[in-house]
Structure 1
Amino acid sequence: MPPRPHLDRFAMSLMVLLCAVWGLQQVAIKLANAGISPIWQAGLRSIGATLMVWAWASLRGVRLWSADGTLAPGLVAGLLFAFEFALIFWALEFTNASRGVIFLYMAPFFVAIGAVWLLPHEPMRRAQWVGMALAFAGVVLLFGENLLQPMGRAWVGDLMMVVAAILWAATTLTVKVSPLVRAPVEKTLLYQLGVSAVVLPLLSLAFGEPGVFAPTPAVWASLAFQTVAVAGASYLAWFWLISQYPPTRLSSFSFLTPVMGVLAGGILLGEALTPAVFAALALVGSGIWTANRTVPAAPPNRR
């Protein structure tokens, strides 16, 4: 089946669900950080999810070892994926999460810029740029006050988040423009999880992290949620969406994730839900609607 040019209701509904899961992940990471070092936590998540996706693929009879030209781009995507998460967790040593998220969610713009050259058959319309700008404005409204705080060494973490955003976009585009887009989604995801399962623990050891230092049922439950629901099920769904729909349209939905994270923190952790949260949600929603409005198809070119 050829890729769809627009998002249908199923794709939009699935993206909202994925953003909710990724928003909950922010709460899960906070809870797990109380007992597991950040990069080690990410490595454990990748190890567990690799085993889970491998078992799922085996049960479904997915061919993982066929020579389909995916090895080189798969390893590249895996390294991009691993270093993206390493930078995100490392950046939090210098900047706070609510400040860093502004820079991390520049990723959809990097996807759009890269798509101009790499995906000329999926051109960005003016409405898509305007929609993404509105959605990004919602994220800035939610977290922007942190940009006014004294910087100190925060700029180091901010820069790391920008690089992580570039790596996130590069992973998306690598999948879209390479044979990975035609590979089973389980295989595409296993490249990322398998490489990061090796790289992240090594990075954790290199940085001298203590690893698991205060295990509790809540810590293990949070790690299990990240492993099964996030790195396993939600990423399978995400890579399937990338293979079927324009990534620039899908990326506009990612601005929902930090807002969902704040909402989840308010509901589950009792954190304050200010009017800015709901104003940001309205801005992000209007931006997504603007970016994904369908327009009448252009008449065929009759030369």
Structure 2
Amino acid sequence: MRQSRLDGRAVALLLLCCLLWGINQVAVKAALTEIGPLWQAGLRSVVAGALVWLWSAARGVRLFERDGSGPGGLLAGALFAAEFACIFIGLQFTSASRMVVFLYLSPFVVALGMPFIAHGEKLSGRQWAGLVLAFGAVAFAFAEGLTAPHSPRQWWGDALGVAAAVLWGGTTLAIRATKLAAAPAEKTLLYQLGVSALALCAAAVAAGEPLPPAWSPRLVGLFGFQAVIVSFASYLAWFWLIRHYAATRLAVFTLSTPLFGLLAGALLLGEGISVRLLAALAALAAGIVLVNR
């Protein structure tokens, strides 16, 4: 049975996922210096998909029995593949800070679409105010990044970021609107990883994108983090949460991801934490409280 409110376990798991996703943006951008965007996205789906299959086999989860989830799985997989193609390609033309601002328009897509799927998840005026406040906090925190000198093709990366946000929200809605809503989290994730692995690797070949001639320890570490920790472990947790908790309440928590990215940069790279960031964190917390009361 899906719970309308988030308990302590859900909040802790969500915050961990958001922390990992915040760090992931840095890992993706760093790895682009050694591997192309389509191969990077496609191969990480291959590795993560294999891990999901092994995990499911060890736990006795039935992945291939007929349950009517095929159409929804193919739709969610196609949206998932397109989303990450937009993110990885877009990061070549725009900064990670700009990309993450546009990407986290996704909760608005979910909030707008969910009332058509589950009437019980319609947001009240107070909750809409909380969602706007939370996103405003994110935009405020990244305002400095938006004032960086524009490159000639930065608008293209920004547009891909917006497209990725719509696709991410669409994936969440597709899961809730189809028989995937009752499928195991492992099966939901395998659909997306399997379809995206085929689509993105095929796109890399079609585009003539070269594979790296050698894998440096740096690239192995960056890629391993993305494939094992993010694409396998955190996404498995995320799809389990979507199955058991209200999607609109989950979606607002994803707004903390870019702020976690800034915090990770401060801790790992020695970057300073400004008063602007602290104010944004306070506003984000207030927005989350309004949505989840």
TM-score bucket (shorter structure): over 0.9
Structure 1 equivalent of residue 124 of structure 2:
125
Pair 237,28 (structure 1): closer, same or farther in 2 beyond 3 Å: same
What is the rounded CA distance, in whole Å, between the counterparts of 2:112 and 2:194 in structure 1? 28
What is the rounded CA distance, in whole Å, between the counterparts of 1:236 and 1:127 in structure 2? 31
What is the rounded CA distance, in whole Å, between the counterparts of 1:31 and 1:98 in structure 2? 13
Shift of 1:235: 0.7
Structure 1 equivalent of residue 240 of structure 2:
240
Structure 2 equivalent of residue 136 of structure 1:
135
What amino acid maps onto 2:78 in structure 1?
A: L
SS of residue paired to 1:121? helix
What is the rounded CA distance, in whole Å, between the counterparts of 1:280 and 1:243 in structure 2? 30
> Deviation digits for residues 99-139 of structure 1, max 9, x if unmatched?
12221111100100011212212211222211111111111
The question of 1:20 aligning with 2:38 is answered: no
Structure 1 equivalent of residue 52 of structure 2:
53
- Given that 2:26 and 2:96 are in contact with CA atoms closer than 8 Å, whether structure 1 keeps it comes out as no
Runs (4+) of structure 1 moved beyond 3 Å?
A: 145-153
Structure 1 equivalent of residue 188 of structure 2:
188
Shift of 1:146: 4.0
Structure 2 equivalent of residue 171 of structure 1:
171
Structure 2 equivalent of residue 156 of structure 1:
156
Structure 2 equivalent of residue 278 of structure 1:
278
Shift of 1:165: 0.7
Structure 1 equivalent of residue 252 of structure 2:
252
What is the rounded CA distance, in whole Å, between the counterparts of 1:194 and 1:110 in structure 2? 25
What is the rounded CA distance, in whole Å, between the counterparts of 2:263 and 2:203 in structure 1? 32
The alignment-based identity, stated in percent, is 49
Pair 35,136 (structure 1): closer, same or farther in 2 beyond 3 Å: same
Pair 34,158 (structure 1): closer, same or farther in 2 beyond 3 Å: closer
> Deviation digits for residues 7-63 of structure 1, max 9, x if unmatched?
111111111111111112123223323322222111111000000000000111111
Shift of 1:269: 2.5
Greater CA deviation, 192-201 or 152-161?
152-161
What is the rounded CA distance, in whole Å, between the counterparts of 2:104 and 2:65 in structure 1? 35
Task: Give the number of aligned pairs.
Answer: 292
What amino acid maps onto 1:179 in structure 2?
A: K
What is the rounded CA distance, in whole Å, between the counterparts of 1:82 and 1:5 in structure 2? 29
- Given that 1:36 and 1:213 are in contact with CA atoms closer than 8 Å, whether structure 2 keeps it comes out as no
- Given that 1:110 and 1:169 are in contact with CA atoms closer than 8 Å, whether structure 2 keeps it comes out as yes
The question of 1:99 aligning with 2:98 is answered: yes
What is the rounded CA distance, in whole Å, between the counterparts of 1:22 and 1:94 in structure 2? 20
What amino acid maps onto 2:196 in structure 1?
A: S
Greater CA deviation, 17-26 or 271-280?
271-280
TM-score by length of 2: 0.94
Pair 260,111 (structure 1): closer, same or farther in 2 beyond 3 Å: same
What is the rounded CA distance, in whole Å, between the counterparts of 2:20 and 2:153 in structure 1? 31
- Given that 1:36 and 1:215 are in contact with CA atoms closer than 8 Å, whether structure 2 keeps it comes out as no
SS of residue paired to 1:44? helix
What is the rounded CA distance, in whole Å, between the counterparts of 2:128 and 2:36 in structure 1? 38
- Alpha-carbon RMSD across the aligned residues, in angstroms, is 1.6
What is the rounded CA distance, in whole Å, between the counterparts of 2:265 and 2:32 in structure 1? 15
What amino acid maps onto 1:139 in structure 2?
A: V
What is the rounded CA distance, in whole Å, between the counterparts of 1:100 and 1:32 in structure 2? 16
Pair 52,162 (structure 1): closer, same or farther in 2 beyond 3 Å: same
- Given that 2:23 and 2:261 are in contact with CA atoms closer than 8 Å, whether structure 1 keeps it comes out as yes
What amino acid maps onto 1:12 in structure 2?
A: V
Uncovered stretches (5+) of structure 2, i.e. residues with no partner: none
